């Protein structure tokens, strides 16, 4: 008799726990990872994006609203590689949430799953913002993004094994579509190969590498240090001798310096969204990125 009661109780508890367990709450540090989790998680995830593509993800504060989100998150998806070094550790410490602490399955840093470019060999801050771990903007390389997608899908399965099949299906269709689009983008961007660009900040190296663009200058004198007039004058002299094909800056970066150089040299500027807009899929975002580059190329 006692055992039957126990069994009934256990069943009741189990059914309750499955009932209570609704969507996985995800806190995504940047929009690209929010968008990726949405693609891979589908209806099983509820994603909150800590930043928009108008915000520099390095200069965010551990606001009360973000602490409240971290408190309830089952999964944290961020770029890592020190991009969020100023606020994420603080968020984690204040959250009172053991599931998303470093080392736990709910702590997912995209840059842990791919090789990083631009590892600083000299760790001296007089060189500007140096990233010892390497450049964190890995989502700009379609191949690296796919690797991250695979790892992230594994993480979703680890956190929510009940929906393994769904995650598998989502990953497969994402991979298929991403590879198809990748081929299309390759064809579309053949004319960009070996074009030279001036960037605001070294945010684009993965995109440059994938497209075969050559970076010939930066508006920032040193990474993280805003453009100075002396540096811009030097750059102008150089650009008058050997003009670049485009000047590229991100949506959250100040456009003044780029426009000034463009006016003086006639080199077109391209404003690119370094991350998707709210609700925008990675496919649409990357397509737009490529459309803008192809359109502005000389």
Partner 1 sequence: MQKKLLMLSITIAISYSNPAFSNNEYELLRQEIELLKKNYEQRIQTLEQRLKKTEEQAQQANSTAQNAAQKLEQTELTSTASNRTDNSFNPALSIILDGRYADFDNDPDAYELPGFSLGGEAGLGKEGFSIGHTELTASANIDDQFYGELTVAIHEDDNETEVEVEQAFVQTLGLGNGMTIKAGRFFSAMGYINEQHEHAWDFADAPLIYRGLFGNKLLDDGLQISYIAPTDLFFQLGTELLSGDKFPAGGNSDGIGAWTAFADLGGDIGIEHSWSLGLSHWEADDIDGRTSGGHSHGNEEHEEVPSFTGESKISALDLVYKWSPNGNPKNHNFKFQFEYFVRDEDGSITMLNSEPLETSSYDGDQSGWYAQAVYQFMPHWRTGFRYDQLDSDNTGSDSDILEEAGLDDEGHTPKRYSTMLEWLPSEYSRIRLQYNRDKSYEEADNQFFLQYTHSLGSHGTHNY
Site residues for partner 1 per CB under 8 A:
51-52, 54-56, 58-65, 67-69, 71-72, 81-82, 85-87, 89-90, 92-99, 101-104, 109, 111-112, 114-116, 125, 128-129, 133-134, 224-226, 252, 254
State residue 109 phi and psi, 5-degree precision. Answer: -110, 115
* Parallel, antiparallel or unpaired: strands 24-28 and 45-49: parallel
Query: To the nearest whole angstrom, how small is the minimum distance from the Cβ of residue 100 to partner 1?
Result: 10
Query: To the nearest whole angstrom, how small is the minimum distance from the Cβ of residue 20 to partner 1?
Result: 13
Nearer to partner 1, 112 or 296 (CB): 112
Helix (H) / strand (E) element for 6: namely helix 2-20
Cβ-based neighbours of 91, under 8 Å, separated by 6 or more: 62, 66, 67, 70
Query: To the nearest whole angstrom, how small is the minimum distance from the Cβ of residue 41 to partner 1?
Result: 20
DSSP assignment of 215-264 equals EEEESSSBTTBPP-HHHHHHHHHHHHHS--SEEEEETTS--HHHHHHHHH
Nearer to partner 1, 55 or 166 (CB): 55
Distance CA 174, CA 177 (A): 5
Nearer to partner 1, 56 or 215 (CB): 56
Quickly count: other Cβ atoms within 10 Å of residue 35's Cβ. Answer: 25
Distance CA 166, CA 178 (A): 18
Query: To the nearest whole angstrom, how small is the minimum distance from the Cβ of residue 38 to partner 1?
Result: 19
Nearer to partner 1, 47 or 267 (CB): 47
Quickly count: other Cβ atoms within 10 Å of residue 282's Cβ. Answer: 24
Helix (H) / strand (E) element for 199: namely strand 196-199
What SS3 state is found at 130?
coil
Query: To the nearest whole angstrom, how small is the minimum distance from the Cβ of residue 254 to partner 1?
Result: 6
Nearer to partner 1, 106 or 217 (CB): 106
Nearer to partner 1, 47 or 290 (CB): 47
Query: To the nearest whole angstrom, how small is the minimum distance from the Cβ of residue 69 to partner 1?
Result: 8
């Amino acid at each position: 008799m006692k055992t039957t009661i126990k069994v009934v109780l256990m069943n009741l508890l189990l059914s309750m726990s499955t009932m209570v367990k609704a969507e996985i709450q995800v806190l995504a540090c940047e929009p690209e990872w929010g968008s990726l989790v949405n693609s891979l998680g589908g209806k099983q995830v509820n994603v909150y994006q800590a930043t928009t593509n108008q915000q520099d993800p390095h200069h965010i504060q551990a606001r009360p609203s973000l602490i409240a989100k971290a408190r309830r998150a089952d999964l944290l998806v961020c770029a890592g590689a020190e991009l969020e070094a100023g606020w994420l550790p603080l968020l984690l410490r204040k959250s009172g949430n053991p599931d998303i602490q470093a080392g736990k399955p709910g702590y997912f840093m995209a840059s842990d799953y791919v090789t990083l470019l631009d590892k600083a060999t000299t760790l001296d801050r007089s060189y500007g913002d140096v990233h010892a771990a390497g450049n964190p903007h890995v989502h700009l390389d379609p191949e690296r993004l796919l690797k991250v997608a695979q790892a992230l899908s594994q993480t979703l399965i680890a956190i929510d094994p009940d929906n393994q099949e769904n995650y598998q299906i989502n990953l497969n269709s994402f991979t298929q579509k991403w590879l198809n689009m990748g081929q299309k983008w390759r064809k579309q961007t053949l004319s960009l190969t070996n074009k030279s660009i001036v960037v605001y900040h070294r945010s684009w190296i993965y995109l440059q590498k994938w497209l075969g663009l050559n970076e010939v200058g930066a508006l920032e004198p040193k990474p993280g240090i805003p453009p100075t007039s002396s540096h811009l004058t030097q750059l102008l002299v150089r650009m008058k001798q050997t003009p670049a094909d485009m000047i590229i800056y991100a949506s959250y970066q100040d456009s003044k310096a780029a426009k000034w150089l463009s006016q003086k040299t006639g080199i077109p500027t391209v404003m690119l969204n370094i991350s998707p807009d709210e609700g925008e899929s990675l496919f649409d975002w990357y397509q737009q990125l490529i459309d803008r580059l192809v359109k502005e190329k000389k």
